[in-house]
A and B are shown apart, each in its own frame.
Chain A
């Protein structure tokens, strides 16, 4: 259900539930009035028309006074909620830039020093109990950044940089999905936010800033060579290797992610191999082409990717 694990999201959810309860009461009352009114005066024949007096009071009370009072209360509650979620209680210490792409999410942990900027994709780690600032841009069309359990959505629109914040109040993995129709694979443009204790988060962030470790064995080294010399490297970056493409997700620490292909598949050896062998079968229209690799090359690339802790 929406909302309840985020500081902003909880406020939004409370507002939503109050509104929904009011809405249900109004619906129930009017429905009963329709039923009772139709039942009470019903006849089986078309009687001669008759004008009986009165009835205007229905309109004045039910149509004007009561809705005005309810709506005024609803509007005040809306404004109060909006003011409460407008800004976090403390200035955010972490700023994450999200770049939307058809159909995956590029994630930058911004830092004043360019060398300390960490780059990843589709999985966003945040410290629990701390507000995090999100800057939202897009690399192509309009997308919408949305983690339902933590808070509402904000669009990623060409030509502008939207800003929002989120704060998770308990640790956990929260699924998110693109909220604005963005083309063929809009349905499979998911992501997750992993809220974890600050210490663990900082460890993770330090690791993300580092380049990939040197290959531990010849199989992996062979995979790295295939990766860097095939079409893979045209789109993907693995820092610390020759692969420096910018069109697809940065894979420097891919093995540490839970899923691949924007939250579509668990990050397992089999899924990786299947995805590389034929991404178009799993995600038709995806911008990742089929790269012709021999079976041994494919397995080497998978071994290489699985080494990228």
Chain B
């Protein structure tokens, strides 16, 4: 009976106790790293935010049109706080990965390593999306103004097409960067874009052949015939 108790109950308990004792320092280390990470994240985030405010980062962003772009995207937080929160969460993620690594467990280590290896892709994808967003805003505004100045009635449609075209392209590039259904994304994007261009070309060719002819004639043959009814000199 005593042997049974020793082997069946105390043995596993002792083993568990030894395992817990082996892991306990690692868990403790994980906790310390996490706590340290949270503190560092808070300190770095707050410091960066305050520093940016002091050096007039918000004012700079306002001058280059960043604030207006953020507002248009529904973001009402000021740029200094955004950067501060970005730094905070970056440090938190890094600390979490480091804390998981402190457990020194093979599956968790592997998971942490793969997560760490994925971070550059995540960052690249985020940068691509952000750049795509700003580029699409810039291009669509430029296209809208140019189309209105050229007197093209579907100016807003043309501008919207340019905006969505660039954003879809950016999304496809970001997904490819993340390794999500790479081939499907590339092929899907190619088919969609090619289809749009072909449809546009056919529609223009069939529905607006006179306009196309006039445009080409004006461009290639004689620009001065652009508006023979108006000889106003603006200069």
Answer whether A and B are interacting partners.
no
Q: Which residues of B contact A (CB under 8 A)?
A: none
